[in-house]
Amino acid sequence: MARDQAPFDVNGRTVFITGAARGIGAETARRLHRKGANVALVGLEPERLQALAAELGDRAAAFDADVTDYEALQRAVSATVERFGGIDVGIANAGISYTGSLANAPIEQVERTLAVNLLGVWRTDRALISQITERRGYLLNISSLSAVAHAPMMGPYTTAKAGVEALSDALRMETAPSGAKVGCAYFGFIDTDLVRASFAQPSVERVRGNSPSFLTKPAPVSKAVDAIEQGIERRAARVWSPRWIGAMIALRGLIQPLTERRMLRDPDSLRESMRAAEASQETSKQDPLLGVAMQAVSDRP
């Protein structure tokens, strides 16, 4: 992760964050606000966004926008510029997940995942890029270890995250002449609502049992926020968390064959995972807009 000559200080600058209602987005907003940033909180859960904005105070504003709606994103960008004078940092964090196989999952869930996790990042980038280039700022797209290792029962998610990586690489080069920077974040399993609810699904429990424990043990949200904070300071091309993901990115040519070999050592287990997804009807219980993460919320006492 290359360093600029001086850290990019968010104090007094404005950060635009999608998926800011919970998880990584909300905790990133809290961290950067403490460092003096203005924060624009963008997402689909207006009550949670308004509550977070009220918690943070005057230097925070909430905007209800679906990242699949480009006009809504443009309105959020315009309102942020009107409120704070400009946007220096964009974090395209919004993401959802459903469980199930590519062959049998409901088509609308597959397409919703691609629409939010890939095209939603592109729309966010497109809505922000003129501000970022004008102010020589930084745009960070949230991808995943899934961009490097493509696991079964996560087909739409891993497809989208691999696309986010490619999108970030291309946009980084196109943006470089302006002096702005574009980064891509690669996270493993982080202890968020999305991960907790996904791990509770019958199909995922079986696949998870065939994976090395260090890969599937969720890391605290704070570790992802640390990586984002450091990425902004360096305007880094790539950031990741946990640390071992850096080695997996470097060895990516070996990772996918090894992943497939490990999974196919026990094809009966994989078949059973797909059967479990259908038998449990888990896909029918997942929120049409926000995916499996909403189950973690509804299960809270």
For residue 63, give the H/E element and its range. Answer: strand 60-64
Catalytic residue among 98, 138, 157, 186: 157
Half-sphere exposure in the Cβ direction for 14 (13 Å, CA): 22
Q: How far is CA 16 from CA 21, 39, 131, 198, in A?
A: 13, 6, 11, 27
The yes-or-no answer on residue 157 being catalytic is yes
CA separation for the pair 301, 289 (Å, rounded): 23
Largest CA distance in the chain: 58
CA separation for the pair 155, 110 (Å, rounded): 8
Do the Cβ atoms of 168 and 184 come closer than 8 Å? yes
Cα–Cα nearest to 196, from 213, 227, 219 = 219
CA separation for the pair 55, 42 (Å, rounded): 15
Q: Are strands 238-241 and 181-187 parallel, antiparallel or unpaired?
A: parallel
Query: Mind telling me the catalytic residues?
Result: 157
